Structure 1
Amino acid sequence: MTDHLTLTTAHVRGRLAVAAIGGDIDIETAPALRTHGLELIAQGHPHLILDLTQVTFCDSSGLNALIGIMRCATAANGSLTLAAVPDRLARMLDLTGISTAMPSYPSATAAMNARLTEVT
């Protein structure tokens, strides 16, 4: 598809970090997403929230990157939470059964409120 992806760490609070993702997550950009997630975990933020409000496309490479981030977060006694998941990605998560391991919320604020009570 494209090599355009934006990754912005929007909020950091203790062991929790929120990253805003925008653009297409595909074979070209999925490695950057995975790297960004793993860097946040390595920096001491194993509880990640990915705000997907601006994601326009996600293929199986993107799904694989999300699973990789989730596994690393779990290994660091953390978690991966998704916010504002686009319909097509939500369907992919449901069909693969990944949605049961990766909670999602309608907005980054809702995800942060839910996770902050569990993390702190």
Structure 2
Amino acid sequence: MDRLTVRHASCEDTSFLTLVLAGELEVSNVSKLIDTIVGVLERGDRHLLLDLTDVSLCDEGSLFTILGIRHAANHLGGSLSIIAASPPVHDAMCQTGLRELLPITPGCPL
């Protein structure tokens, strides 16, 4: 069984693509998220939303990877926002000081 799953979900605003993550998000398996996002960006989607509600474990390396992905999306004229996060994600964000750099914006943007 995969320790991390990534699936697409719909958002009312079709200019945004929502990715829902579940399971353990850590450096050892963050490549699954990277591969998914690279595919999405290659398809032409530029505005990404991450729902981390069902992430049960989160390490600092994976958060720094998400920050790097956000910078790459911005460089391509897009964006990446976290729309929901579990307590383990909140804790990891606070411990790493990334809470300010990776703000959580609830729901789909209008």
How does the TM-score come out when normalised to structure 1? 0.76
Q: How does 1:96-107 map to 2 (within 5 A)?
A: 96-106=96-106
Alignment pair present for 1:19 and 2:19: yes
Q: Measure the CA separation in 2 of the matches of 1:6 and 1:41.
A: 19
Conserved 8 A contact 1:52-1:82: yes
Amino acid aligned to 1:41? L
Q: In the comparison of the two structures, how many residue pairs are matched?
A: 108
Q: Sequence identity, in percent?
A: 26
TM-score, normalising length from structure 2? Answer: 0.81
RMSD of aligned Cα (Å): 2.1
What SS does the corresponding residue of 2:88 show, helix, strand or coil?
helix
Aligned AA for 1:63? L
CA contact (8 A) 2:4 2:25 kept: yes
Residues of 1 paired with 2:42 and 2:77: CA distance?
12
Question: Shift of the alpha carbon at 1:93?
Answer: 2.2
Higher helix share: 1
* Structure 1 alignment gaps of length 5 or more: none
Show structure 1 runs of 4+ deviating over 4 A: none
Corresponding residue number in structure 2 for 1:4? 3
Matched, 1:60 2:60: yes
